[in-house]
Amino acid sequence: MYENLYKFMELKGKRAVVTGGAMGIGYSTVLRLLNEGCVVTIWDINPEKLAEAQQALNSKGIIFAHQCDVTDKNRVYELGEIAVMEMGGVDILVNNAGYVASGYFLENTDEQWEKTISVNLTSFIYTIRAFLPQMNERNSGHIVNISSASSVIGVPGLAVYTASKWAVWGLTESLRFESKKLGKKGVKFSTVHPSYIKTGMFEGAKIPFPGGLIVPLVKNHDVIAKTIVERILKRGALSPKKPWTVNLAMMMRGFLPDPIFQKMIELLKISDSMKTFKGREK
């Protein structure tokens, strides 16, 4: 209902950059954008997957593909200029590239936690800085940042990952208000908050019974891609959660005293959700 307060975006002819676009949510989002008539640039760190994605998607529309480590700001800024040159501008940025190192806080190295923050948060700052000036100049554009269901609740075994995704939500909301203060209401900012997806980066992770009945696994990456294209870009949603029951965590946190809320999370077995984690094969 509230999404209809925002102007619909006509996607045909729009120009998009999708980071981590060769796999998972990124790939599914690229496919949907191409089907809507967008011109798309894919950035991905994996050259083999990037080549496979480009070959598979060439027949779907106009795409450009570049290998990119999004934690390398010089490479991001270089490719940002190339994207503008190749596509004539950038209307949509989907910050999808992500990294997860599972394990309790003291089990992993400083380097693993630094990489988690660099990929999941710092790189978003680089990519946004690469494209926001031109969006502000046109007073038009939409930046979509992939957050997580873990941005609404702490998860054992994901402490730094969770911290990075909480930060992404705060960054996005702050930038939204900044744009309004600067008179750039045509520049939109959104987050999407997926819970565990059956396959991919979080394969094996799941909330056991009884919490798993309330927040089931997301069946595939296209569920999130559809949310990005249909709800966020077309209808202006600000921070959709998938499944929608993720919102219940925020509601419980708001209404219940903190000790009761914490106990409820334990009773629902949400704290055990990373015990069966396998992750994506290298």
* 3-state per-residue secondary structure call for 81-129: HHHHHHHCCCCEEEECCCCCCCCCCCCCCHHHHHHHHHHHHHHHHHHHH
Catalytic option among 27, 126, 161, 196: 161
Instruction: Give 204: exposed, middle or buried? Use CB within 10 Å, 0-12, 13-18, 19+.
Output: middle
Q: Which residues contact 238 (CB under 8 A, 6 or more apart)?
A: 176, 189, 190, 191
Instruction: Give 67: exposed, middle or buried? Use CB within 10 Å, 0-12, 13-18, 19+.
Output: middle
On whether the CB atoms of residues 68 and 45 are closer than 8 A, the answer is yes
Confirm whether 126 is a catalytic residue: no
Q: Within the chain, where are the H helices?
A: 24-35, 47-57, 73-87, 110-117, 123-138, 159-181, 211-214, 221-226, 247-255, 258-267
On whether the CB atoms of residues 137 and 127 are closer than 8 A, the answer is no
Asked if residue 243 has a cis previous peptide bond (ω within 30° of 0), the answer is: yes
Taking the C-alpha atoms of residue 87 and residue 66, their distance in angstroms, rounded to an integer, is 13
Query: Which tokens is 140 given?
Result: 């038009």
Which residue reads 């990952």 in tokens? 161
Query: Which tokens is 7 given?
Result: 């102007």
Query: Which residues are catalytically annotated?
Result: 161
